[in-house]
Copies of this chain bind each other. A is one copy, B any other.
Amino acid sequence: MKTLHELTERIIAFRDARDWEQFHNPKDLAISLSLEASEVLEHFQWKSPEEIKEYLKTDKEHIGDELADVFNWVLIMCHDFGIDIAEASERKIKKNEEKYPIEKAKGKHTKYTKL
């Protein structure tokens, strides 16, 4: 299994071979991230829970492709912005632990601002 570092190198090599860094300004990168997340969402639109359960079996690779698109944009953005995503991921979980203390948040889908 490739590491985050190796995957980042892989995707940046893909970009550099196509001379695409010139288009990758932060605003358009963020647009791409948002558009790819929408493509993930589109797979679940209109489907009932049962249809989704079935769909996750029949179209797992397709959904994996879309999630990979989102994931790969995150890696590109973190590369360009000088962000260590593993570190950021952990730090954000810690922040969420403080925002959503177990005793207050357990079993509720309430936003922290309303807890």
Determine if A20 and B109 form an interchain contact, defined as CB atoms under 8 angstroms apart: yes
Q: Does A114 contact B (CB under 8 A)?
A: no
Interface size on A, residues (CB 8 A): 76
Determine if A25 and B49 form an interchain contact, defined as CB atoms under 8 angstroms apart: yes
Determine if B31 and A41 form an interchain contact, defined as CB atoms under 8 angstroms apart: yes
Determine if A90 and B28 form an interchain contact, defined as CB atoms under 8 angstroms apart: no
Cα A85 to Cα B67 with chains together (Å)? 8
Q: How far is the CB of A27 from chain B (nearest CB, A)?
A: 4
- Knowing A7-B90, A85-B68 touch, does A30 contact B41 (C-beta < 8 A)? yes
- Knowing A23-B109, A31-B31, A70-B37 touch, does A64 contact B91 (C-beta < 8 A)? yes
